[in-house]
Every structure is written in structure tokens, then in C-alpha cells.
Amino acid sequence: MKRQRKKYLRPAHPWEKERMDAEDKLLRQYGLRRKEEIWRTQTLLRNFRRQARHLLAASGPQAELEAKQLLVRLRRLGLVGEGATLDDVLGLNIENLLERRLQTLIHRKGLAKTQQQARQLVLHGHIAIAGKQVSVPSYLVPLVEEGAIGYVAGSTFKVQPQPEAPAAEPGTEEKAETQPEETEEAAEKPKEETT
């Protein structure tokens, strides 16, 4: 059986106030559950930077090919622009990666009111990308899939009016408007008969 390895590195010094405050701010801002999610994202960013530094120092056709592949991958994820270089990869920060998470994009598109609600929608299976259900809040969404984010077909969150839902159904407003008019007419009729 293959042994599972951690996909992140813990901080070398666990009790640094500045780092802990910065992590707490990221937890609140992006609706993350644990600091392990920040550490996993930092490890991914560290790997991108390490690869870029290695490719800057290397030369030859293989290094050029690997640099091009790295830039294409990061461009597809929306982390760098069209004319980016390896120096631009070294300028990435953790917020760039956190902004590309599925949970964050759902909140930005208005499908959820808060980051925590966006996370819950993903985990409970209400979100789909191009019709395919995705249940991983940390999924890094490529640029081509960003416009295809929506609710799963037949999602109870979309169909039934709920307090957490972003918009109410249009039919409920019409019903509420017709009922008061009927009661006003009924109240006027007895007044006319008595006089």
C-alpha cells in the first residue's frame, strides 16, 4: 500500500505573532477552515517559485521547454499574463493563488453571500463547472472554466427559496400583492351594506 504524504510544510517556528496574525487575516478574508489550507497553498507557491528559479539558472533547449510549459500552466490558471516571464512567477504571492480557488470565485460571482456559504455550497454538492459537479473548495479554476461556474442541475439550493439563497423567486412577490387587495375589498363591502 502506498503511504500518503503531507502536501504541505508546517512553519519552522510555530509561535511567531506576525505570521500568525497574517494567517488569521487570510483565514477570515478567504473563509478558510484551517491553517493547513494556507500552508498547502504556500507549498504550491513555493514549488512554482523553486521551479522558476531553477529554470532561470539553467540553459539549453530542455530548460526553455520546461519554462514554456510552466508559463503556459500558470497562464491557464490565470496567475500570470500573456507576455509573462519567469521573473513574473517569482513575483506571485499567496493571495494570487487564493483568488483562483473555487470557493472564492463562487463568492465573487454572487452565487453565495459569504465565503463560508460558498464553501458549504461546494461541499454539499450544489456547485458545478460546465455541468460537472465539483466538491473541492480549494480547486484552482482555470480561466476557461471560470465562466461555466454555476449551480448543479436540480440543486435544491437553486429551486427552493431559502434564507441563504442570493435571490428570491419572482412568483412569491405577486402572491403577496394580490392578497391584501382582496382583504381591502372584503372590508369595504360590509361598510356599504350597513349604510
- In order of 112, 124, 132, 155, the CA distances from 115 in angstroms are 7, 14, 21, 19
The pair phi, psi for residue 163, each rounded to 5°, is: -60, -25
Cell numbers 510555530: residue: 14
Measure the CA–CA gap between 112 and 105, rounded to whole angstroms: 10
Measure the CA–CA gap between 127 and 134, rounded to whole angstroms: 6
Q: What is the pLDDT of residues 150-168, one digit of tens each?
A: 999 988 886 444 566 555 4
Asked whether the CA dihedral 162, 166, 167, 169 is positive or negative, the reply is negative
- DSSP H stretches of helix in the chain: 17-30, 35-57, 61-76, 86-90, 94-98, 102-109, 115-123, 143-146, 156-159, 171-194
Q: Examine the pLDDT at 187 and tell me if it is beyond 90.
A: no
pTM of the model: 0.76
Strand 149-151 to strand 132-133: parallel, antiparallel, or no bridges (unpaired)? unpaired
Query: How buried is residue 175: exposed, middle or buried, by Cβ count under 10 Å (0-12/13-18/19+)?
Result: exposed
Q: What is the pLDDT of residues 105-151, one digit of tens each?
A: 999 999 999 999 999 999 999 999 999 999 999 999 999 999 999 99
147-151, long-range: CB within 8 Å, 24+ apart, which pairs? 149/102, 149/105, 149/106, 149/109, 149/111, 150/111, 151/111, 151/126, 151/127
Which domains are delineated in the chain?
1-99 (no CATH), 101-190 (3.10.290)
26: its cell numbers:
487570510
Q: What is the pLDDT of residues 89-114, one digit of tens each?
A: 999 999 999 999 999 999 999 999 99
Cross-strand pairs, 150: 128
Measure the CA–CA gap between 166 and 90, rounded to whole angstroms: 38
